[in-house]
């Protein structure tokens, strides 16, 4: 008889609290994107948030990621 919990019933957490860490990092940008969509479009807002979070993943700090992506816009359009 096996006395351990099967893998399918336990939560595998190799990186600590990865879920909460990730959500804390992206929620401010998701909220920003929702506000941005009210003035532009959902396509534009999602593209902007995706670009910012991509740069976060590349190691940029949040402020630099935001300012970098904003610098790519001309009249609320990416060129």
* Nearest alpha-carbon partner for 48 in 32, 63, 59, 62: 32
Residue 11 has pLDDT above 60, yes or no: yes
Q: What is the pLDDT of residue 45?
A: 94
pLDDT tens-digit profile of 23-56? 998 899 999 999 999 999 999 999 999 999 999 9
Q: What pTM was computed for the model? A: 0.72
List the structure tokens of 28.
Answer: 């401010």
Determine the Cα–Cα distance for residues 64 and 70; give it in Å rounded to an integer: 10
Q: What is the pLDDT of residue 44?
A: 93
């Amino acid at each position: 008889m096996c006395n351990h919990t099967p893998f399918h019933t336990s939560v595998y957490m190799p990186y600590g609290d990865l879920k909460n860490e990730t959500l804390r990092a992206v929620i401010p940008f998701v909220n920003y994107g929702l506000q941005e969509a009210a003035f532009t479009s959902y396509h534009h807002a999602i593209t902007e948030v995706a670009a910012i979070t991509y740069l976060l993943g590349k190691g940029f700090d949040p402020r630099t990621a935001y300012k970098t992506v904003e610098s790519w816009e001309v009249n609320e359009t990416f060129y």
